[in-house]
Structure 1
Amino acid sequence: MSITRSELSSRMSQAVVHGDTIYLAGQVGTGADVTAQTIDMLSEVDRLLASVGSSKSHILSATIWIADLAHVSDMNAVWDDWIDPANPPARACVESRLVAPEYMVEVMIIAAKA
């Protein structure tokens, strides 16, 4: 089975497709609060999935890291408005220090091709 990598840097690929499975690198967003960052982050997930022939309706698994669980309800409000309610993925959400202090939330996605 072939492996296709897209948006490569010297460190990683933003998307890797192996067969009918898509793996996205961890995605973060920009903005002053967790709501803005989550909106931006999920927009990037939409873009990356579309670029490899999929969509949020085909997400199998999502792992979310949030810097402060005090903001999880704000993140969940955006997530709940964004996710396809007919096709919710398996999901984990944990509190964790992220790679830089300005990031409040990060998501890593595994999806199927559409």
Structure 2
Amino acid sequence: MIERIDTSARMSKIVKHNGVAYLCGQVGEGATVAEQTRDCLSRVDALLTKAGSSREQMLQAVIWLADMSDFAEMNDVWDAWVPTGHAPARACCEAKLARADLKVEIIVTAAF
């Protein structure tokens, strides 16, 4: 069975199937990549909770940066957020994001 949560005509914020929760990409507010990453991860936390999951159950994260020169600053926030011993498989790439003011977008998949 597939469960879709907070579904609009374009997308669902969460799709659950066979014990896995797929979260839509999250962006955050702020002037710096650190501020946007903190806000983005706060939004990921809320979706994980809504999906019946948690940081400890993350399977994979895909991180998109508008500029790879922000990699270290983003990682400082990420490293403090990920629970010790529960780091997911992860990829980080540079991409043109949906709006010019966006610096980071994160997509998370987690067990529930």
Q: For the residues of structure 2 that align with 1:47 and 1:29, how far apart are their CA atoms?
A: 13
Question: How many Å apart are 1:85 and its aligned residue?
Answer: 1.5
Q: Deviation per CA, 1:72-101, whole angstroms, max 9, x where unpaired?
A: 111000000000121110000001110111
Alignment of 1:27-66 (within 5 A): 27-66=26-65
Q: For the residues of structure 2 that align with 1:79 and 1:85, how far apart are their CA atoms?
A: 12
Counterpart residue number, 1:23: 22
3-state DSSP of counterpart to 2:100:
coil
Extract structure 1 runs of 4+ deviating beyond 6 A: none
Counterpart residue number, 1:100: 99
Identity across the alignment (%)? 46
Q: For the residues of structure 1 that align with 2:91 and 2:49, how far apart are their CA atoms?
A: 23
Q: Aligned letter for 2:11? A: M
Q: Aligned letter for 1:95? A: E
Counterpart residue number, 1:10: 9
Q: Unaligned 5+ residue runs, structure 1?
A: none
3-state DSSP of counterpart to 2:52:
coil
3-state DSSP of counterpart to 2:56:
helix
Question: How many Å apart are 1:28 and its aligned residue?
Answer: 0.5
Question: How many Å apart are 1:11 and its aligned residue?
Answer: 0.5
TM-score in terms of structure 2 length: 0.97
Counterpart residue number, 2:73: 74
Question: How many Å apart are 1:62 and its aligned residue?
Answer: 0.3
Q: Unaligned 5+ residue runs, structure 2?
A: none
Q: Aligned letter for 1:81? A: A
3-state DSSP of counterpart to 2:31:
coil
3-state DSSP of counterpart to 2:90:
strand
How many residues are aligned here?
112
3-state DSSP of counterpart to 2:101:
coil
Q: Deviation per CA, 1:45-89, whole angstroms, max 9, x where unpaired?
A: 000000111001100000000000111111000000000121110
Question: How many Å apart are 1:104 and its aligned residue?
Answer: 0.4
